[in-house]
Amino acid sequence: MAGLIKTILEQEEIQGLNPDFSLLTIIPKATAEKAQLLIFGKGEKRTLKLLTTNNHPEAVKQLLNQIEQKGYRHELFYTTNEGFSTALGRYTILEEQEAHRAELIKQEAKAEGKSAVALMQEQFEQRDSQDPTQFINSIIRLSFQAGASDLHFQPEENGIVLRLRIDGVLHHILQFSHQEFWKYMQKIKFMSGVKMNIDYLPQDGRFSFEASDRDGNLKKIDARVSFMPGIITESVVIRFLDATESIDDFREIGFRGDNLSLLENYLHKTSGIIIITGPTGSGKTTTLYAILKKLNDGTKKIIPLEDPIEYKIAGL
């Protein structure tokens, strides 16, 4: 938009504009059509660029006053009736995008496993037409529904690689360019509550989101986020924590026979230490929380030392 210096735009020039659809909704379609005034861009210091035929000057004046009351400035551009009709078609494109977005949301609710991965790849191909926040939220949600325990954005020489850890194995899913991933990095930092201008120190954050289970029901998922500086740029790891999937029975984790008896015997001791080791996704945290739930019977004072806290347990 910085290249616009004319206050009169021809139809051919309007066809070449790349409008900001998020601004278009400030003036509803019916109102824009009646007053023949619509927003097609934004300048500096909250200045909106508006297009009009000036066929209805009083209606235009009223709308401009309303825009000023919302804290915006305005810059008017004029066009013919044909040019305005062309610009008005942007509302139709917006409606089609919203309808497509609604359909994607329905598909997301049903997606799991390989179908969730396929939908991620489909949305990735259409990312340029999506709002960055909506896009990255969909990628995170679908990663969880794909069965991933964690989501990795790994910097490499040729770009940022998205990998999912499923059943303990990392799978290459997508690859962003370094330049385009920066805006998604900022969205993740904002959601995680970390400092957005810091990229030279490790940072940890967390946020929550809603995802669908196998029956299509929404449930709250906690995400723990780690930002780690590197040679090229920061790497990001998002660990998914599903409190509804907590396990109370050691047998569900896989303890059997002598191992189960040994663990239960040690839990009755009044002193000592139990060390649990294993690779990412092997069940260390699940086992420790199952132990905490077993010990948390109201007869003991338990003080967990954990950084960061992954799950909340009543009474601890």
pLDDT in tens, the chain (316 residues): 344 344 777 666 766 666 666 677 788 888 988 988 888 878 787 888 888 888 888 998 999 999 899 888 888 888 888 888 888 887 777 777 777 666 666 666 666 677 889 889 988 998 887 888 989 999 999 999 888 989 999 999 999 999 999 888 899 999 999 999 999 999 999 999 999 999 999 999 999 998 876 666 778 888 999 999 988 899 999 999 876 666 667 777 778 888 888 888 888 888 888 888 877 667 787 888 888 888 888 788 888 887 667 677 777 7
Query: How many domains would you assign to the chain?
Result: 3
Written as six digits, the tokens of 164 are 């999912």
State the Cα torsion 259-264-268-274 to the nearest 10°: 50
pLDDT reported for residue 2: 42
User: Are 121 and 227 contained in the same domain?
Assistant: yes
Evaluate whether residue 3 is within a structural domain. no
User: Are 52 and 70 contained in the same domain?
Assistant: yes
Evaluate whether residue 106 is within a structural domain. no
User: Are 142 and 164 contained in the same domain?
Assistant: yes
User: Are 95 and 194 contained in the same domain?
Assistant: no
Rg for the chain (alpha carbons), in Å?
A: 26
Q: Which residue has the tokens 């309808």?
A: 99
User: Are 221 and 116 contained in the same domain?
Assistant: yes
- In this structure, what CATH number is given to the domain that contains residue 123? 3.30.450.90
User: Are 165 and 216 contained in the same domain?
Assistant: yes
DSSP 121-184: HHHHHTGGGS-HHHHHHHHHHHHHHTT-SEEEEEEETTEEEEEEEETTEEEEEEEE-HHHHHHH
User: Are 116 and 235 contained in the same domain?
Assistant: yes
User: Are 202 and 149 contained in the same domain?
Assistant: yes
User: Are 185 and 255 contained in the same domain?
Assistant: no
Choosing from 220, 243, 266, the residue where a domain stops is 243
pLDDT reported for residue 243: 67
- In this structure, what CATH number is given to the domain that contains residue 73? 3.30.300.160
User: Are 54 and 92 contained in the same domain?
Assistant: yes
User: Are 136 and 223 contained in the same domain?
Assistant: yes
Q: What's the rounded Cα separation, in Å, for the pair 188 and 194?
A: 9
Domain with 88 in it = 11-99
pLDDT reported for residue 29: 86
145 neighbors 248 (Cβ within 8 angstroms)? no
